[in-house]
Amino acid sequence: MALQIITAPDPRLKLIAKPVDRVSEDIEHLMRQMADTMYAAPGIGLAAPQVGQPLQVIVVDVGNDDNPDQPGQLYMMANPIIEWVSDDTCSYKEGCLSLPDQYADVERPAHVKVRYVSEQNQEKTLTAGGLLATCIQHEIDHLNGLLFVDHISQLRRNMIYRRLLKQRRLDTTAN
């Protein structure tokens, strides 16, 4: 069952998420619902605050390099913590399910090492690079009340928010 994705400028997106004590059946169920929602959107990552749950839970699947339209490796993470970032950086044109149809180039560390608790309640570590590293950092930002637009200039950010508000007004008058 797909969950409702919150869109900016909803203040719930700026809240800092709480850690989960353990990955219980309820948390695993939330992770699976989030994955279904992410795939249906379609997107490559989703954080619990984006679906109204202020919990440190993210799901990420950047696709399959051989066939980008097919799912790749699904990562379901509770309490993800970035333990290391590379000195080298890369830039991706980022978008966000909470800022529909808005994109901007964001520069982030090219590689990260993240520690997290899996859906089986097991502590794991993942070293990631490229798009996967960018996506993990993007989703962890959501857990800290940050959006990708917080990494760009205020002028560009304001333009994006104005476009979102204009689209929301158009959608409201159309209904």
CA distance linking residue 8 with residue 61, whole number of Å = 23
Q: Which of 103, 128, 114, 40 is nearest to 77 (CA)?
A: 114
CA distance linking residue 161 with residue 116, whole number of Å = 32
CB 139 within 8 A of CB 60: yes
Annotated catalytic residue within 25, 83, 94, 139: 139
Domains defined for the chain, CATH in brackets: 11-174 (3.90.45.10)
CA distance linking residue 120 with residue 21, whole number of Å = 13
**pLDDT tens digits, one per residue of 107-136:** 999 999 999 999 999 999 999 999 999 999
Which residues have C-beta within 8 Å of that of residue 106, sequence separation ≥ 6? 91, 92, 94, 134, 138, 148, 151, 152
- In terms of Cβ atoms closer than 10 Å to its own Cβ (0-12, 13-18, 19+), residue 34 is buried
| Residue tagged 């964001």 (tokens) | 106
| Residue 117 vs residue 69, higher pLDDT | 117
| Residue 142 vs residue 167, higher pLDDT | 142
End-to-end Cα distance, the chain? 25
The phi and psi torsions of 132 (rounded to 5 degrees) equal -65, -45
Query: Is 25 a residue of the active site?
Result: no
Tell me what pLDDT residue 168 has. 81
Say yes or no to pLDDT of 65 above 80.
no
Output the CA torsion sign for 103, 6, 63, 2.
Answer: negative
- In terms of Cβ atoms closer than 10 Å to its own Cβ (0-12, 13-18, 19+), residue 6 is middle
Say yes or no to pLDDT of 1 above 80.
no
Query: How open is the CA angle 115-119-125, to the nearest 5 degrees?
Result: 20
Output DSSP code: residue 49.
G
Whole-model pTM: value is: 0.92
